[in-house]
């Protein structure tokens, strides 16, 4: 257990580097070329492994709405040139998490820790001038002992798919203005998406209130991210104290 905690421990100093990685990741995704239409996308692969490819197709469906989001992409999984047609919605992901707690609460807690770390890009690095997600192999292997598949694909593939979704959420919000003509807050996109999943995990583990989770959705238009101060009790393997939790909260403060 001590080795696992050493890997998962959340270092707030690393969040500063994570902010720079996030900016680079967004710039890269926005720069990717796009096809002429949603029905004729251009595909870009972010990760390959286990016979799968995970990436995005551009443009996404929101790029052709009446009020278009030109940066929208379609996160996708393909195997042998065949795409998984159904995109994972919050409902799909939440259902997977619910199934997971019934199989192994311990594995679900580990996954929650990975999602929190990914929200702040603590397990990302630059490879050939591109930001890539490299979740700790020790943790992925530990989860896979009980849960080796999610969304009908191997766990490592699913984690990379969540990463592609997080990147798309970032480019959608961090490169456009809201209805009031102002930039979105810095928590919009990746942090809100992944920390909402982590919040549900905390609820499923009995460490957070379902009322608090539901209220978050009502107040924040479709997301309910876990707050920094909640991480102390909800994900103790991250080993953060009150001061560190305060710093984390400031990182994604509206």
Query: CA 160 to CA 156: how far, in whole Å?
Result: 6
| Prediction pTM value | 0.94
Mean pLDDT in residue range 187-216:
95
- Residues 173-182 have a mean pLDDT of 76
**Who has greater pLDDT, 232 or 244?**
232
Q: What percent of the chain has pLDDT over 70?
A: 96
Q: How far apart are CA 254 and CA 252, in angstroms?
A: 6
Tens of pLDDT, residue by residue over 223-232, are: 999 999 999 9
Tokens of 118: 């990914």
What would the pLDDT profile of 154-169 be if each residue is shown by its tens digit?
A: 999 999 999 999 999 9
- How does 22-55 read in b/e, with b if 16+ C-beta sit within 10 Å? bebbbebbeebebeeebeebebbebbeeeebbbb
> How do residues 13-70 score in pLDDT, each as one tens digit?
888 899 999 999 999 999 999 999 999 999 999 999 999 999 999 999 999 988 888 9
Q: With cut-offs at 50, 70 and 90, classify the pLDDT of residue 186.
A: confident
Cβ atoms < 10 Å from Cβ of 243: 9
């Amino acid at each position: 257990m001590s080795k696992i905690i050493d890997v998962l421990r959340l270092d707030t100093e690393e969040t500063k580097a994570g902010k720079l990685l996030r900016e680079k990741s967004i710039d890269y995704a926005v720069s990717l070329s796009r096809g002429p239409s949603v029905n004729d996308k251009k595909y870009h692969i972010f990760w390959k492994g286990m016979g799968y490819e995970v990436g995005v197709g551009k443009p996404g469906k929101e790029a052709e709405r009446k009020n278009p989001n030109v940066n929208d992409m379609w996160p996708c999984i393909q195997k042998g040139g065949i795409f998984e047609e159904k995109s994972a919605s919050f409902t799909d992901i939440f259902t997977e998490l619910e199934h997971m707690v019934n199989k192994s609460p311990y594995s679900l807690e580990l996954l929650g820790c990975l999602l929190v770390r990914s929200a702040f890009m603590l397990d990302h690095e630059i490879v050939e001038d591109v930001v890539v997600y490299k979740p700790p192999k020790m943790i992925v292997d530990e989860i896979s002992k009980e849960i080796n598949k999610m969304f009908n694909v191997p766990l490592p593939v699913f984690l990379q798919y969540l990463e592609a979704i997080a990147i798309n959420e970032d480019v959608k919000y961090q490169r456009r203005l809201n209805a009031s003509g102002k930039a979105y807050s810095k928590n919009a996109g990746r942090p809100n998406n992944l920390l909402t999943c982590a919040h549900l995990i905390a609820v499923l583990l009995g460490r957070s209130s379902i009322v608090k989770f539901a209220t978050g959705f009502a107040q924040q238009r479709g997301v309910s991210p876990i707050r920094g101060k909640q991480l102390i009790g909800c994900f103790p393997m991250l080993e953060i104290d009150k001061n560190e939790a305060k710093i984390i909260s400031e990182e994604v403060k509206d």
